[in-house]
Structure 1
Amino acid sequence: MKVFKFGGASVKDAKGVKNVIEVLKKVGNSNILIIVSAMGKTTNALEIVVSHYLNNHPELKNAIDFIKKYHIEILKDLFDNKQHPVFEKVNSLISDMETTLKRNKSVQYDYVYDQIVCYGELIGTTVVSEYLSLEGYVNNWLDAREVIKTDEIYRDATVNWEITQQSIAEKVNKKGLTITQGFIASDTNNFTTTLGREGSDYSAGIFAYCTNANSVSIWKDVPGVLNGDPRVFENTKLLSQISYEEAIELAFYGASVIHPKTLQPLQRKEIPLYVKSFINPLDDGTSVKKGQRLVPHIPCFIVKKDQILLSLSSLDFSFIVEDNISEIFSLFHTYQLKVDLIQNSAISFSVCLDDKFNNFEKLLSHLKAKFSVVYEKSVSLYTIRHFDEEAIQSLEENKDILLKQSTKETYQMVAKQ
């Protein structure tokens, strides 16, 4: 069996959904499990719904209507028969979402987020599944929440591999064609959880691991893994092959093409990963396998924006020692701040943080009680893997640099945005 993953950009409209069939025509459609993300920018639109709901915003109904209209317009372009059951199925899912909001008693953002944002994937896969059926591609629609089981850490859940593997073995048919969702799962109480933003790639890794798939293909609007985000860096080049280890390094530093968690289950069973273009599906793209060298061997550029540079020093100018650092990292864990860079001296300790859960202000109140605190928000963390002097010079040009450091293979700097 092979696992395919189509992201939101690949199914953002009727043309994109039709292109899924074109891909299957060219590369085959038997013994395949397809993971589909929410269509287009639906996740962003659902995040607005969550925000409006929790803040009692008067635009809540309009935000829901926007999502409904967006999907109905796609359906009208795909299905000539307006009486096709898919219209009722999509309307029913949106009604379910509205009922969930009405019945909800929680004010916890992360919990509400997962219960609502999941509808993007449920609707998107329903549309794709029904259109494939219309075109003669018999398929099985599977609710990923029935098989991927996690803990109760909403928005960033940890997979229970033992239960998940057993469930997938029981419910996933390795023959034929299966359509399921990325990103979503459920806890032991069957409440929806999510695997972190961009977690659909991770879902592909989970299904591949649990089914012993031959390969995973992630279909993108780029030709494969590039040595930099073309929206940020000029003259980017395709990396035709990289190793699991290198891909994990790139993902760790923030490369957006492959989700950081995706590669770990694939590496354990040495399942090849291919990142390919859904526009040109027969092109080779990028292969990610065990032990293969980086080709071509060139600098790779990564940027993470909207970071926080935090510098701490002791109030009495004593050394920052192990006890201090242990306490600081415990607070980072408590407030769910991800550390992307560390630099320390005898009396100071600096970190670049990713505050995706918006807990930094809570952290500050604790830190200021024991440390002298200096911080700068809205900074960018730049990373170059396999750097050379030319690459560093081009990156540093015209930037207000706050901090930089390098190791044998990796150069990093923090600069104002």
Structure 2
Amino acid sequence: MRIFKFGGASVKDAAGIKNVVEVLRQVGYENTLVVISAMGKSTNAMETVVNTYFKDKTETSAAIQEVLKYHNDILIDLFENENHPIFKKIKGLFDEVQGFLIWNKSPKYNFVYDQVIGYGELVSTTIVSAYFNEIEIKNNWLDVRELIKTDDNYRDVSIHWEKTQENITKGIDKKQLHITQGFIGSDDNNFMTTLGREGSDYSAAILAYCLNATEVTIWKDVPGVLNADPRYFENAQLLNQISYREAIELAFYGASVIHPKTLQPLQRKEIPLHVKSFIHPLDKGTTVGKGIGIEPKIPCFIVKKNQVLMKLSSLDFSFIVEDNISQLFKLLHDHKMKVDLIQNSAISFSVCFDNKFGRLHELLDTLKGKFKVVHQEGVSLYTIRHFDTEAITSLQKDKEILLEQRGKETVQLVVK
């Protein structure tokens, strides 16, 4: 069985959905499971719904109606019959969101977030499945919440692999075309959970692992895995082949094409991953697999914007030793900071991290009682894999270098 994953950009409107049909007709869709993300920017729109719920409930209904209208416009373009049952079905899904927000008593943002946000995926897959059936591409719509089981650490869950394996083995007939959601699962109480932003890639990998799939293809609006993000770097080049190890390194440092968690389950069963263009589906794209190395071997540039650089030193000029570092990492973990770079000297410790959940000032308040703290927000972290002198020089131009760290294959620069 093959796993195909289509992101939000590929189904952002009716034309995009029709293009997905053309992709499947060109590459085939027998024995295929298709994982689909929320349409366009609807995840952001659903986040607005959650935020209005916590900040100004009088705006929540209007925010929901705006997302419903976006999807209704797509339905009108796809289905000639305005009495088609899909219209009622999609309205019913948004009524579920509204109903949850009325009866919910939990004050916990992350819990509410997970119960609301995944409806973007439920709506998108319901629309695509109905349209496929309308044009006689018979398919089976799967509720991935019944398959992928997780813990209840909302917005950042871990997978219950044994239960997930059992559900997928029992619940999926490999001889059919299936359509299901990325990004979401459910906990032991059947509350919806999310796998982290951009987690649909991870969903595809989980399903592939449990199904012993022959391959996974992620369909993107770029030709494949590039050596740099074309939004920030000119003349980005296609990487034809990369190894799992190299891809994991790139993902760890923040390469946006492949989700960091996606590669581990694929590597364990040596399932090849293809990253291809949904605009040119017959082009080869990039293959990620066992022992391929990287081809061509050129510098790879990764940038993370809006990071925090923090320098800590002891109040009494004593050494920063193991006890201090252990304490610091515990605090970073407790405040859910994603650490991207560390550097320490005898009396100081520098760390660059992502303030993912907006808890920086809580962390600062805790640290300032124990350390001298200097921090800068809004910095950028550049990473170059397989760097050379020219690559480093090109990054340093017109930038203030706040911190530099080099290894054998990798250099990292924090810049203002």
Shorter-chain TM-score bucket reads: over 0.9
Q: Secondary structure at the match of 1:58?
A: helix
Q: How does 1:2-401 map to 2 (within 5 A)?
A: 2-401=2-401
Counterpart Cα distance in 2 of 1:102 and 1:215: 43
Shift of 1:400: 1.4
Coordinate RMSD, CA, aligned: 0.7
Q: Secondary structure at the match of 2:131?
A: helix
Which letter does structure 2 place at the counterpart of 1:15?
A
Shift of 1:358: 1.1
Report if aligned partners of 2:275, 2:287 keep a CA contact under 8 Å in 1. yes
- 1:317-359 CA-to-partner distances (Å, cap 9, x unmatched) read 0000000000010111111111100011000000001111111
Counterpart Cα distance in 2 of 1:335 and 1:188: 25
Q: TM-score, normalised by structure 1?
A: 0.99
Counterpart Cα distance in 1 of 2:116 and 2:404: 40
Which letter does structure 1 place at the counterpart of 2:11?
V
Shift of 1:61: 2.2
Counterpart Cα distance in 2 of 1:84 and 1:400: 59
Counterpart Cα distance in 2 of 1:257 and 1:43: 18
Shift of 1:112: 0.6
Q: Secondary structure at the match of 1:260?
A: coil
Which letter does structure 2 place at the counterpart of 1:204?
A
Counterpart Cα distance in 2 of 1:118 and 1:271: 27
Which letter does structure 2 place at the counterpart of 1:311?
K
Q: Tell me, which stretches of 5 or more residues in structure 2 are unaligned? A: none
Which letter does structure 1 place at the counterpart of 2:14?
A
Counterpart Cα distance in 2 of 1:406 and 1:301: 14
Q: Secondary structure at the match of 2:170?
A: helix
Q: Please, which moves more after superposition, 376-385 or 359-368?
A: 359-368
Counterpart Cα distance in 2 of 1:90 and 1:407: 52
Report if aligned partners of 2:300, 2:387 keep a CA contact under 8 Å in 1. yes
Q: Please, which moves more after superposition, 399-408 or 314-323?
A: 399-408
Identity %: 64
Report if aligned partners of 2:183, 2:199 keep a CA contact under 8 Å in 1. yes
Q: Secondary structure at the match of 1:287?
A: strand
Deviation above 6 Å: which 4+ runs of structure 1?
Answer: none
Q: Secondary structure at the match of 1:149?
A: coil
Counterpart Cα distance in 2 of 1:257 and 1:317: 43
Q: Secondary structure at the match of 1:265?
A: helix
Q: Please, which moves more after superposition, 59-68 or 100-109?
A: 59-68
Counterpart Cα distance in 2 of 1:169 and 1:282: 31
Q: Secondary structure at the match of 2:118?
A: helix
Which letter does structure 2 place at the counterpart of 1:62?
A
Shift of 1:106: 1.1
Report if aligned partners of 2:6, 2:218 keep a CA contact under 8 Å in 1. yes
Counterpart Cα distance in 1 of 2:335 and 2:412: 25
Counterpart Cα distance in 1 of 2:173 and 2:307: 43
Q: Secondary structure at the match of 2:295?
A: coil
Shift of 1:107: 1.4
Counterpart Cα distance in 1 of 2:61 and 2:105: 19
Q: Tell me, which stretches of 5 or more residues in structure 1 are unaligned? A: none
- 1:20-41 CA-to-partner distances (Å, cap 9, x unmatched) read 1101111111100000000000
Which letter does structure 1 place at the counterpart of 2:365?
S
- 1:251-304 CA-to-partner distances (Å, cap 9, x unmatched) read 000000000000000000000000000000000000000110211100000001
Counterpart Cα distance in 2 of 1:230 and 1:107: 41
Q: Secondary structure at the match of 2:149?
A: coil
Q: Secondary structure at the match of 1:59?
A: helix
Report if aligned partners of 2:53, 2:59 keep a CA contact under 8 Å in 1. no
Q: How does 1:400-415 map to 2 (within 5 A)?
A: 400-415=400-415
- 1:146-171 CA-to-partner distances (Å, cap 9, x unmatched) read 01000111001000000000000011
Number of corresponding residues: 416
Which letter does structure 2 place at the counterpart of 1:79?
F
Which letter does structure 2 place at the counterpart of 1:105?
K
Shift of 1:62: 2.0
